[in-house]
Chain A
Amino acid sequence: MIFLISSIAIFLLSALLALLFQEEQTKKSAALGGVMMGSLIGLIPAVRVLGGSGTIEDAWEGTLPGLTLRIGLDGLSAFFLLPILGLSALVACYAWGYLKGQKQLHATLPWFPLLVASMMGVVIAQDGFLFLIVWELMSLASFFLVTAEHERREVRHAGWVYLAATHLATAFLLVFFLLCFQQAGSFAFDDFATVPAWPFTGLLFCCALIGFCTKAGAFPLHIWLPHAHPAAPSYISALMSGVMIKTGIYGLLRACTFFPSPPLWCGELLVGVGVASAVLGVLYALMQHDLKKLLAYHSVENIGIILIGIGLGLIGRSQQYPLVEILGFGGALFHVVNHAMFKGLLFLGAGNILHATHRRRLDQLGGLIRRMPITGVTFLVAAAAICGLPPFNGFISEWLIYIGLFEGAKAFAQAPFFFAVVAIVGIAFAGGLAVTCFTKVVGGVFLGSPRVAWEQPVHEGRWQQSLPMGVLAFCCLLLGIAPQLLSPWLMTALAGLGVGTPVGEMAAPLATLWQLSCAVAIPIGLLAIGLLVRYWFIMSKRTRIAPTWDCGFAQPTPRMQYTAASYAEPLGTFFRFLLKPTIHFQKPEGTFPARASFEDHVDDLAERTLFGPLTQRIVRVLTWIRRRQRNQVPNYLAYIFATLLLLLLWEVWIGI
């Protein structure tokens, strides 16, 4: 307990110090040093709890009557605390190098420790009241971090979209927790879990789903992600995409512990949402030209995969197939950790690229692997991991979910069978498109030669930036080759989720995984040895550097290279009915064409058909009301008075 409290105290203190100090260097040291120290201290109890030392709990009687604030750490909380604090420490280290010479970003530094503290608060809060408070704090802290470069118009727009989305989420969560409170008579999560029979489970589940999925970024509530991630500074994108959106997943899993036996349709709905997110997320990612926007859509895809896992677990629970339940939940939890690693790494890599070249558009980059080898290699590792390719960690978690789905398809009948098959097809489809998408990114950004001339020499980031990226890449590989390292912790987390008695059943799939990873790692290792031998062989010979055969092009220029957009174009054309791209195409004409251009642009389906028209209507109504407003202080007071009076009457004559 003492470690938890002191960790939070360090975060708050460092936020305060960073606010007070004006001098840049001290400000940075206070914020980033505080985050690193607090994270490392906070990791101690998380590892202990996951190691099986039992749960920690504490409660404070508040000053308000009938209110007790409870914090605690059980298996589930500790399992989420691990990536949150781990990635925060690494991101703080990265930011140390990244922030050098970026004056405008220093002003928002005090929010950084506050964001980490509130994320930690979300997972250790053990009652609904405290949970809502830290949840709101987390939203506000991340809002201020997203709008760090508020001079730019699109950043402000992104900030507002995010703020609206996050308030929508909180509104639904407020309803959810109040309804729970009404049934249980207290805000404590333990009391929620002991309610014998929940009335209107459907309403509660839908409130939780909308609230948590908005934060997590599941389709069609994901619209804030592709706005906020490109707008935020890269180290914040890494933190938000890597772990902050996972607090939505945590909330969903926590809500699952309140309802011991959810109806079947809950799981099916989650699988449906998951498949939609995974497939549409990756399709939209494929059509993006902006590196960070593309990565944001990949977050939508990965959240979809996690949701499929959770939905599968719930279906397994209601159909009473413990193996399917364990594989579903286990795969989802494993993917949470994995996604934190590789998505964090990808955004940090994108940060390095942006820092070095000041460009985010894929069609303006190229040939970076020679100039930024560390970024290039770690980005490649992360890309392979996010595509679910062995021997990296993404493969392991997706594989667990696959096995669960196949087990489910074998065991289930009727509707659950249908959903299992749809999910298998969906994940496979998303996986294939993800590989296409990342070949496009790596090919466009790192291979070939630069498509435009850089303003200044492009070079690798500082060691503070390279170190955390190396650590993350190593972790991706380590968990891919030895996933059983994580399995005891996974078991503790699953026990916290209310599953996991038959531990032996999980051990068998994990054991096969290890063999599978080795089977892939050995050929790759042999290939690497072969390359080394070849390198050594070549080194001993005399070499000459000369141009390759250029197919008769006398004067090739970098602009002749195949671009990322043209790589994705066939798929975009194929899915035209769904993506509805806007195309501006000027064909080359005549014998000696002077100019020709091609440009395409994809609008988000949810934004185009759902949220765009919806906000338009709302704005119209609100404008109408505002025109009729007399804007006098007494009028507003009268509104307040009338509301209070109504509430009083309600309380007196009807009761809450």
Chain B
Amino acid sequence: MEWLLIGALLMAFATLGSARLGSCIRAVALQGACLSLAPLCTVGALADPHRLFLATASFLIKTVAIPALLFKSLRQAKIQQAVAPTISLHLSLLGGGGLLVGAFLAAGNFSLPTDPYPPLIVPVALAIIAVGFFLLIARTKAITQVIGFLVLENGVFLFGITLLGEFPLTVELGVFLDLLVGVFVMGIMIHHINRTFDHVDTKALTALKDSE
């Protein structure tokens, strides 16, 4: 169980550290796979329809559908493979390490019931959310924004599955709707930026600044 969580965490760092978009997307896909396997590794998972459904659906969405979509948009929009960070990759990794320390420190003060998952899940989820946000801030291309958002969503998903026993339907609906909506919005954004500005850099949105 723990190794899945550690894998997810490592993949978050992989997205922070990789210089090419393709490896970023692969890292996110792998992270999604780790997460969707997590509910299956608990006791009595195979008899619980909620956990089975959650695992299959999230695997299909997080590991198959969205990475495929991202690769497709990468090809179609002829996006350059470089990630174009505003904060350099080394500094990003260092910052990620800081966030990880902060997450573990903060999680020490929480007393959340994580059963049947190991208590490690809380700091890992926090760290993944923080890394996701960091990606959103430190990368400029629209497609890296989508990736950052996905990492963020994965962190939220990790938090969510601890609540699965009490509020199964809410968690499931919340997880999938959020994800789909997010990807849709970002997808449209990429498309739009491509059409109008011919590149997918969110810096171009600065042109929308209010005229005074």
Report Cα–Cα, A645/B138, bound state, in Å: 16
> Which residues on A sit within 8 Å (CB–CB) of B166?
65
Which of B19-27, B29-37, B47-55, B202-210 is the contact stretch?
A: B202-210
Which of B106, B138, B170, B209 is in CB contact (< 8 Å) with A634?
Answer: B138
Which of A629, A641, A652 is in CB contact (< 8 Å) with B209?
Answer: A629
Provided the pairs A63-B170, A626-B212, A649-B106 are in contact, do residues A634 and B86 lie with their beta carbons within 8 angstroms? yes
> Which residues on B sit within 8 Å (CB–CB) of A652?
106, 109-110
- Interface pair B106/A648, CB less than 8 Å apart: yes
A638 interface hit (Cβ, 8 Å): yes
- Interface pair B109/A632, CB less than 8 Å apart: no
A631 interface hit (Cβ, 8 Å): yes
In the complex, per-residue mask of B182-212: 1 if CB is within 8 Å of any chain A CB, else 0: 0000000000000000000011011011101
Q: Count contacts on B: residues with CB < 8 A to the other chain.
A: 24
Which of A63, A623, A631, A638 is in CB contact (< 8 Å) with B137?
Answer: A638
Query: Min CB distance, A652 to chain B, in Å?
Result: 5
In the complex, per-residue mask of A628-652: 1 if CB is within 8 Å of any chain B CB, else 0: 0111111001101100110011001
In the complex, per-residue mask of B159-196: 1 if CB is within 8 Å of any chain A CB, else 0: 00000001100100000000000000000000000000
Which of B134, B136, B209 is in CB contact (< 8 Å) with A631?
Answer: B209
B154 interface hit (Cβ, 8 Å): no
Closest-by-CB residue of B relative to A644 is B133
A627 interface hit (Cβ, 8 Å): yes
Report Cα–Cα, A627/B202, bound state, in Å: 20
Closest-by-CB residue of A relative to B87 is A634
Query: Min CB distance, B57 to chain A, in Å?
Result: 20
Report Cα–Cα, A641/B134, bound state, in Å: 8
Main secondary structure, interface of A, reads helix
- Interface pair A626/B138, CB less than 8 Å apart: no
B140 interface hit (Cβ, 8 Å): yes
- Interface pair A637/B136, CB less than 8 Å apart: yes
Closest-by-CB residue of A relative to B138 is A634
> Which residues on A sit within 8 Å (CB–CB) of B205?
631-633
Pick the most buried of A630, A631, A634, A652: most chain B CB atoms within 10 A of its CB.
A634
Query: Min CB distance, B73 to chain A, in Å?
Result: 18
Query: Min CB distance, B204 to chain A, in Å?
Result: 10
Report Cα–Cα, A641/B138, bound state, in Å: 12
B145 interface hit (Cβ, 8 Å): yes
Report Cα–Cα, A257/B206, bound state, in Å: 52
Which of A65, A627, A632, A638 is in CB contact (< 8 Å) with B212?
Answer: A627
A653 interface hit (Cβ, 8 Å): yes
Query: Min CB distance, B140 to chain A, in Å?
Result: 7
- Interface pair B136/A630, CB less than 8 Å apart: no
> Which residues on B sit within 8 Å (CB–CB) of A633?
145, 202, 205
Which of A65, A631, A637, A648 is in CB contact (< 8 Å) with B208?
Answer: A631
Pick the most buried of A632, A640, A653: most chain B CB atoms within 10 A of its CB.
A632
